[in-house]
Structure 1
Amino acid sequence: MDKQVHTSKTMRAGSLSPTSTISATSLDLSRLPPIAIFTAHLKDGEETMVKETLRQYNAPLTTDVSRAKIFIGKVGTKRRAEFELRSRKLVVEEVVAPKRPASPVKVDGHSSKRRKVSGASARAVPANEGDSTTEDEAREDSETEDEANGGKQYTLLSSPSGSDRGARAVTIFEDSSDADIIWVIKVDWLHACVSAGRLLPLGDNLVYKSRVLERPKSLNTKSIRAIFSAVPKAAPASQTLLASRPHPMQDIVDRAKADAPTTSKKSSYQPPRFGNHASHHFKDKTFAPSSQHAGHSYASQTTHLLQQTTSEYEGEDSDIPQPPEWVKKGVKFACQRFTPANGPNEDFLYQLKKIRTARTLIDDDIGVRAYSTMIASIAAYPFKLSHPREIAQLPGCDEKTAILFVEWKNTGKIQAVEDYENDEAMKVLRSFYDIWGVGAKTARHFYYNNHWTELDDIIEYGWNALDRVQQIGVKYYDEFLIPIPRAEVEHIGAVVREHAVRVRDERITVTIVGGYRRGKTTSGDVDIVVSHPDLESTAGLVRDIVESLEESEWITHTLTMSLTNTNRGQNALPFRSARATGVGFDTLDKALVVWQDPAWPSRERDIAVNPKAKNPAIHRRVDIIIAPWRTVGCAVMGWSGGTTFQRDLRRYAKAVKGWKFDSSGVRSRSTGEAIMLEGPDGVDGTPEDAEKMVFEGLGLEYVPPEYRVTN
């Protein structure tokens, strides 16, 4: 992974960087009290930016109001802060500090009165301006009267970028020993800290400080996040594999063993009081240690593992094959390399995919993307992995990936995967996540908020609260989990084509995309792209096809019917227009339906006995997508690649071409206009030919669909 230096350019007024780059500064928010976000007045995407920025700097982010002590958001007045707290069932009273004269502070050995400063312009005292870091001096650096009062303190280390003389202790938040205090602060404080690369006093960014009289009861009675995300703070750099890195290809094992004298066998580390936040790939600890490792830092565990079990890797450098060109060149986009199914490292990838699923279930979006990147990179590697150095050289992988490989190679398992598979709460979340129409967020809501632990709970207590898609997902839960063989997928595609031709003509094209086109032996659902060379023939086509299939009893439920593309004249939606109106870019006409073969062997006999005899045929999920001929190549391309392939295709189009790509077409990010990479309507050819033209227009080598397996 390329480490990028975070600069002030990534921070604009009123916005945070969502990129989670590793900063060269010393900003560390891990010792803050638990932080919750006020979502009011945060525009689309801003909440995610704030959340990801807090996570990047190890802030203890929480959604549990019963334990949050800091609330951050776009809150400008005490009255608004009181309202937000009251709406969360927090009973509070304002803390009003007595006025007191400013304390003198020594500067260069002379006493002088402290100048009052405020907001982001406040200058933290450099570490070299004093040798002492006592509590008294920390209080003198405090910005407000409230912060200067005595009591229990959350001491935060803040030092200017580049300082090598140690960090000056700056007290930002404090609490009296017998009070439960809450701070409401403006998000501007976070902007300022990230820009400065260090903690800054609150100043005018402190909106409201209150004493809690009553908190709501915690709903997270079984906090799986605490199990999988609350990890001890990493050991000092000299005790980790990231230390002493003269060359990126230096052997990881050798460095770990060289560091052995500085790492005691038994760590005296005590986890920070406020550390229950989801880690991510860039500061990755994978998961919290299992019970037998409680009290040891992750760095100590991993180094210990390598010292004891990796002697077999010594002297194997000569056996490492020469890496392919994409590895040598550091090609980071999955759409620029060939990734086949069933590669030589599927057993290891199977373990990593389980960790990624766990990250999904604990709402660690950054971790999910990071694991997806490393999985796609390893999947494209054509050789059987035998040495951790091989992994470290792959784009998107690093020492932590190599540590997982060493653990799996030497023990036959990964402890994080064992924890994930054996945890009862995770089993419940997985079962809910498998419901069609239920994402990870909803699954967590079912479990943590509603305290449901099985499908029967959803049916008994929450059926009327489900939307129609979720109700169908629960009703046919077991059937939807049964894989669809290729022969059945092809049969469904043939039936769709038959009815499409019936409502139009023989020039209709039907392309089965998704996992089937990538060569999977079975599919979870069936995705079909339908098109026609004449523009007027694709207008309203999805409605006509679905009505014809319903009449023939192939479709039992139509859950989504979208005619957005038809309603706007099937013109590509300009990029700027889409962004301004908040409309999604993938605006093709489509229908999501439940499919069932209307014929079964004993149909006539069963109906003769009972005219309302139930069809025993299994229900399937089918998506029918309609693409105009002018952009059918983008549609086929957008629905054929694995998840990471498609993500990197969009990233590549943005980074290299300055374009916006999705399955409905390509648009310029500068002018907002559509870019036509395919032929006009009515020309001869096939959707596959059009897809190749899109690859060419993007400047990419054509990757056959069976080599886009990046899941």
Structure 2
Amino acid sequence: MVPLKRRKVSASDSAGKTGNNPGEKTPTRFPGVVLFLLEKKMGASRRAFLSQLGLKKGFQVEDVFSERVTHIVSENNSGHEVRTWLNSQDVGRAATAAAARLLDVSWYTESMRAGRPVDVLDRHKLQEQQADEADVVSFSLPSYACQRRTTLDNHNAAITDALSLLAENAELSEDDGRGVAFRRAAAVLKALPAAVTSTRQLRGLPGLGEHSLRVIGDILENGASTEVESTRRSERYKALKILTGIFGVGAKTADRWIRDGIHDLQRLRESGQTLNRAQQAGLDHYDDLHQPVTRAEADAIGEIVQRAVTSASPGARITMTGGFRRGKPTGHDVDFLITDPEEGNEEGLMPKVVSWLESQGFLLYQKTSRNSYLESNEGPGRPSSNMDRFERCLSIFKLTRKEHRAGADGPEPGPGSQAENPPTRRWRAVRVDLVVSPVSQFAFALLGWTGSKLFERELRRWAGHEKAMSLSSHALYDNKQSRYLRASSEEEIFHLLGLEFVAPSERNA
């Protein structure tokens, strides 16, 4: 079959076409008007639609920005934002010198309706006057998160969620330094009293590195960060999230499984991998453990734990710690700190508590470790860490759903069974951590186990860098005086560190 010969295109033909759609002949009716639609905030699909509309009406609409452009049309941008974008382009200075008109999209849509370029009125012009520095409301914050009061009210949730996702991805990739950097940046944004509208407001704030500022700027300008969205869609990130979401599985194990081709729970179950007791329990109860724990459920567990503790030592008491103590309405687990007002009575308490809980059928899994903390006359033998050495029990709790009538739903499924109708099951699995502290260390343990994780990290950093002290969940050691500093309350610890007391509800860094 003989191919058709391509028709030669004359100069007059090509003059009537634009770079947008070279296959369609669109005569230019307004040669003195060359338009460019700015994609920023407008979006690619809307820009494409408006561009095609303009071409059909006989306007010159450039797909690529150049010095020829006489009218720049944008949506939801100020004149300053458009000029800033222009100056980032190779031809930005030339375009600025040519005084291209910066117009709101309303001028463009009115011109489309009229079938010609309408007169440019004041309401069509973008405000180009840059705000004076004095008009920009800048924020100011102390350097350490433990000096700041961070409630659950977050005025910058879209930004902090994005930074937290990048931090989590770094931590799952075992890049702890980068993870901490993103966490500190997110903590700064959480502590701000109002929403950020410009990165200029963040000048001079602590903890905001170049990378974090770039992500923040991207979100403020475009509504989302390309890096964050790319990470969120990454197959590796999604696999790491699923696998490390199994109780007892860390980043190293998950990475090894991924390299073996395991990316989800089904493949893990089919792989024949040998799992330890914790991992098997985590896999069996995966769905339950990924359901948020409510405050009511946490309180119900607290009542059971208190009964167990009282049966072992009538004078002992429990305190709920973690996010619930900071005022969070839900959590991923429940933490309890156990102590006895009589020093030494806490010894041997944990085995009795665990034995009672097991005898009553409340524990689906438990692993207990002994107290390995020894106070040295020479002070702490290692750098401060968020890992303490208290006696503890890491468990998966079987919580009965009281709202179901006994026997109304037929036989109760066994632990780990895959019931066809899960809502009819009369119990759920919940992660519960029990920690026993001597009363002499209780204030430090309470402070350490309340969190947040970053707040505690910053407390230890403040103690070391600003006070030459070593803080842990066991004690506070003054390196200058070479002695331990005792405290019976959190308020005393803050005072010893030279800090204003921060209530638990304000430690949500």
Alignment TM-score, normalising by the size of structure 2 = 0.69
1:253-652 matched pairs, under 5 angstroms: 314-315=130-131, 317-321=133-137, 323-324=139-140, 327=141, 331-448=142-259, 450-464=260-274, 466-505=275-314, 507-558=315-366, 560-565=367-372, 572=375, 578-579=381-382, 586-598=388-400, 601-604=404-407, 616-652=426-462
Q: Pick closer, same or farther for the CA change 1:416–1:316 going to 2, 3 Å.
A: farther
Please state if 1:695 is matched with 2:494.
yes
Structure 1: distance between partners of 2:86 and 2:156: 26
Task: State the partner residue of 2:20.
Answer: none
SS of 2:470 mapped into structure 1: strand
Moved more, 352-361 or 370-379: 352-361
In structure 2, what is the equivalent of residue 659 of structure 1? 469
1:392 and 1:402 in contact (8 A); partners too? no
Query: In structure 2, what is the Cα distance between the partners aligned to 1:612 and 1:374?
Result: 45
Greater shift, 483-492 or 451-460, is seen at: 451-460
Q: Is the 8 A contact 1:668 1:674 kept in 2?
A: yes
Q: Provide Cα deviations, 1:518-557, integer angstroms capped at 9, x if missing partner.
A: 1111010001111121012211212211111111112221
How far is 1:672 from its partner?
6.5
Gaps of 5+ in 1: 1-250, 266-309, 679-689
Q: CA deviation at 1:431?
A: 1.1
Pairwise mapping of residues 96-107 of structure 1 onto structure 2 (< 5 A)? none
Query: How much does 1:575 deviate?
Result: 6.4
Amino acid at match of 2:460: R
Higher relative contact order (CA 8 A, sep 6+): 2
Percent identical residues: 26
Distance 1:579 1:348, change over 3 A: closer
Assess, with a 3 A threshold, how the Cα gap between structure 1 residues 254 and 540 changes in structure 2: closer, same or farther. Answer: farther
Conservation of the 8 A alpha-carbon contact between 1:252 and 1:399:
no
Alpha-carbon separation, structure 2, partners of 1:556 and 1:500: 19
1:259 Cα deviation after fit? 7.1
CA shift at 1:319, angstroms? 4.0
Contact 2:289–2:431 (8 Å) recurs in 1: yes
Partner amino acid, structure 2, of 1:628:
P
Q: Deviations over 1:9-63 (max 9, x none)?
A: xxxxxxxxxxxxxxxxxxxxxxxxxxxxxxxxxxxxxxxxxxxxxxxxxxxxxxx
Q: Secondary structure, in 3 states, of the residue corresponding to 1:535?
A: coil
Cα distance between partner residues in 2 of 1:611 and 1:704:
43
User: Is the alpha carbon distance of 1:597 and 1:363 closer, same or farther for their aligned partners in structure 2, counting shifts above 3 Å?
Assistant: closer
- What is the aligned partner in structure 2 of residue 705 from structure 1? 504
- Given that residues 337 and 436 in structure 2 are in contact (C-alpha distance below 8 angstroms), is that contact kept between their aligned partners in structure 1? yes
Opposite residue 499 of structure 2, the aligned amino acid is: L
Say if 1:556 and 1:316 are closer, same or farther in 2 by CA, change over 3 A: farther
| Deviation sequence 1:397-427 (CA, Å, 0-9, x none) | 1444333223212221110112112222322
In structure 1, the residue corresponding to 2:462 is in which secondary structure? helix
Instruction: Map Cα deviations across residues 316-354 of structure 1 (whole Å, 9 max, x no partner).
Output: 644433534xx3xxx321111111113211122112222
> Which amino acid in 1 is paired with 2:507?
R
Equivalent residues of 2:165, 2:228 under 8 A apart: yes
Deviations 1:585-636 (Å, cap 9, x if unpaired)?
A: 61111111110125653445678x7898986411000001111111111111
The Cα of 1:371 is off from its aligned counterpart by 0.4
Distance in 1 between the 2:285 and 2:356 partners? Answer: 23
CA distance in 2, matches of 1:524, 1:436: 11
Cα shift at 1:376: 0.7
Unaligned runs of 5+ in 2: 1-79, 95-125, 418-424
**Residues 287-326 of structure 1: CA distance to partner in whole angstroms, max 9, x if unpaired?**
xxxxxxxxxxxxxxxxxxxxxxx998932644433534xx
Write out per-residue CA displacement over residues 51-107 of structure 1, whole angstroms, 9 at most, x where no aligned residue.
xxxxxxxxxxxxxxxxxxxxxxxxxxxxxxxxxxxxxxxxxxxxxxxxxxxxxxxxx
Distance 2:282 2:192 in 1: 37
Q: CA RMSD in A?
A: 3.4
Instruction: Quote the Cα distance in structure 2 between the aligned partners of 1:436 and 1:692.
Output: 35
Distance 1:611 1:455 in 2: 21
Alignment of 1:238-249 (within 5 A): none
Number of residue pairs aligned between Structure 1 and Structure 2: 390
Please say which structure displays the higher CA radius of gyration.
2
CA distance in 1, matches of 2:196, 2:153: 14
CA distance in 2 between counterparts of 1:257 and 1:611 reads: 65
Distance 1:363 1:452 in 2: 19
Partner deviation per Cα, 1:406-460 (whole Å, 9 max, x = no partner)? 3212221110112112222322222112112222222212102x22122122223
**Deviation for aligned residue 1:671:** 7.3
Supply the distance in 2 between the matched residues of 1:676 and 1:517 (Cα, whole angstroms). 23
Q: AA paired with 2:279?
A: Q
Contact 1:634 1:662 in 2 (8 A): yes
| Inter-CA distance 321–530: structure 2 relative to 1 (3 Å threshold) | same
Cα distance change on mapping 1:337 and 1:584 into 2, 3 Å: closer
SS at match of 1:618: strand
Shift, 1:255, TM fit: 9.0
CA distance in 2, matches of 1:698, 1:469: 38
Report what 1:682 is aligned to: none
Aligned counterparts of 1:578 and 1:616: Cα–Cα separation in 2? 48
Q: 1:671 to 1:457 in 2, by over 3 A?
A: farther
- The amino acid across from 1:706 in the alignment is S
| Equivalent-residue separation in structure 2 for 1:575 and 1:462 (angstroms) | 49
Deviations 1:547-580 (A, max 9, x none): 111111122211x212225xx7xx5456656339
What is the match of residue 487 of structure 2? 677
Structure 1: which amino acid aligns with 2:430?
Answer: R
Distance 1:315 1:536, change over 3 A: same
- Tell me how far apart the structure 1 counterparts of residues 504 and 81 of structure 2 sit (CA, whole Å): 36
Query: Would you say the 8 A contact 1:575–1:667 is kept in 2?
Result: no
Relative to structure 1, the CA distance from residue 356 to residue 264 in structure 2 (aligned partners, 3 Å threshold; closer, same or farther) is: farther
